[in-house]
Amino acid sequence: MQDILSLNLIEIENILISFNEPKYRAKQIFNWLHKNMVTSFDEMTNISKKLRDILSYKFYIPNPEVLEELHSKDESVKYLFSYGEDTLIETVLMKNSYGYTICVSTQVGCKMGCTFCASHLAGFKKNLTAGEILAQVYSIQKKLKQKISNIVIMGIGEPLDNYEASIRFIKNLSNADGLNISQRNITISTCGVVPRIYDLANEGLSVTLAISIHAGDDIVRKKIMPIANKYSIEEIFQATKYYFEKTKRRVSYEYALIKDVNDGKEQANKIAKNLRGTPSHINLIPLNSVSESGYEGTAGKQIKEFYNILQSQNISTTIRISKGQDINAACGQLRRSKELA
């Protein structure tokens, strides 16, 4: 059976034509799936029972089971979803002054192996389909009963390692016949899969690209991010320059501050040098410590010093407010604890 939630409108039209059904039914079905967020074909009340039966036989609608739902004092909610055996993923709902944001996962586990991150600890299992990524949003949207304003693709997994599904997710999520979430309100994060950054630039999308940079030079980056052995910082900045030239969208850089690893003045100055004169923004992140990594997050005073160095060199910088500290905040922690139980 095929995941129908991953299909775009044209693909559904072609399927209906092959069933000798009128083409206009495709828009009705797409609307049921992506605006009404149904989880059963029987809910499509303006579709004939015959067609519903055919769809039920050939397709399925991803609908994750909620295994755990953890509520933080800051109103963040972390969901542990399952799509069946060996498919535990995490999705986070965050409440901000401008509305609600959902952070989605794109893979069950991660291949990237960043040493400070919990996402890879339980191993890589599989790529999620576009429909399985969408279903995370739809499941939470229906529970919340309020409009989601922003999406960040930076949960478990490397979205550019699951490229086609991530792109399908963005296009279906932003479709006017679905939830119609503006692409400008969608951020896709990568640890630096350089060839795919070029591909993303050529997609004609208006999403925000976020780069998990986490170091000012390749020497430090290689110690904490294995991807740095394949793609250098110079190659990443060349790719992001191309991304801006093609999209006119400012690139964001994520920088998790790790005590005595990447939080010194030298690293701050190197990052500033790389970003100087480029339309970019750097987001400093107090590290959510993962016990298996052995790393500690940088203290608040030193985070501020790092911030001041960047600001003094006219680098647009913010310090992210950590959310969900009391509910296994770091990506992969809840999944890891469940699998070890």
Catalytic positions: 90, 331
Q: Count the Cβ atoms, other than its own, within 10 Å of residue 161.
A: 19
256, two tokens: 């998790």
What are the C-alpha distances in Å from 215 to residues 35, 176, 204, 264, 319? 41, 39, 29, 10, 16
Tokens of 338: 């469940």
Taking the C-alpha atoms of residue 198 and residue 240, their distance in angstroms, rounded to an integer, is 8
The alpha helices in the chain, defined as continuous H runs, are 9-18, 25-34, 49-58, 130-144, 163-173, 194-201, 218-224, 233-247, 265-275, 300-312, 333-340
Residue 260's Cβ-count burial label (10 Å; 0-12, 13-18, 19+) is exposed
What span, in angstroms and rounded, lies between the C-alpha atoms of 339 and 91? 16
> How many residues in the chain?
341
Q: How far apart are the first and last CA of the chain?
A: 32
Q: What 3-state class would DSSP assign to 206?
A: coil
Q: Kindly list the distances between the CA atom of residue 80 and the CA atoms of 134, 179, 226, 320, in Å, as whole numbers in the listed order.
A: 15, 23, 27, 23
Q: Which residues contact 168 (CB under 8 A, 6 or more apart)?
A: 6, 8, 130
List % helix, strand, coil for the chain (3-state, nearest 5). 40, 20, 40
DSSP-assigned letters across all residues of 162-187? GHHHHHHHHHHHT-TTTT---GGGEE
Q: Do the beta carbons of residue 330 and residue 296 sit within 8 Å?
A: no
